[in-house]
Amino acid sequence: SQFEGFNGYEIVMGKTKTDQRGEKGFKKLIPYEGKTISPALILKEWLDLIGNDGYLIRRVEINGAISPDHIEYTCALAVLRDAAQNAKVKDWQNVTTHSMRRTFVTLAYKKGYTNQQIAKQTNQTVSTVNRYIDDFDVYEKNPALKMWS
């Protein structure tokens, strides 16, 4: 495999929307060979193409040249929605970075990860993760569902 010996990336987060002081360190992207989507392997291919200097998310010019400049949020959102549409996500027009985070929390919870593990990965507080899960539980674990089935 072309990724043999590749263990993924540790990404320094710095300041983010959910970590205004930049105290939560880094995230690990692990390669998943054989899966339909592996963010670490996609990132590796992108970095092989653009190099390791400059912005990670960059504009691609109309002639196909990769710009050293970053893209604006509205462009990033358009890329996210385009990917959601191609993946046949229902209501892809309404996908946001926030909805992606909520979806990740829900799926991780369904797979059995603890609220603390999820909070660490998403840079959320445990209480925020609990709110996302409480919202999920209201629908998925609602006792009224069994009453009428």
pTM above 0.85, yes or no: no
In sequence order, what are the residues at sequence separation of 6 or more whose Cβ sits closer than 8 angstroms to the Cβ of residue 63?
A: none
What tens digit of pLDDT does each residue of 36-66 get?
A: 677 777 788 888 888 877 777 888 889 988 8
Judge whether 63 and 69 are in contact, CB under 8 Å. no
Assign 51 to helix, strand or coil: coil
Residue-level pLDDT at 3: 56
pLDDT at residue 93 is higher than 90? yes
Residue-level pLDDT at 68: 85
Structure tokens at 60: 């691609």
Judge whether 106 and 113 are in contact, CB under 8 Å. no
What tens digit of pLDDT does each residue of 107-135 get?
A: 899 899 999 999 888 888 899 898 888 76
H-helix segments, the chain: 39-50, 73-86, 97-110, 115-122, 126-140, 144-147
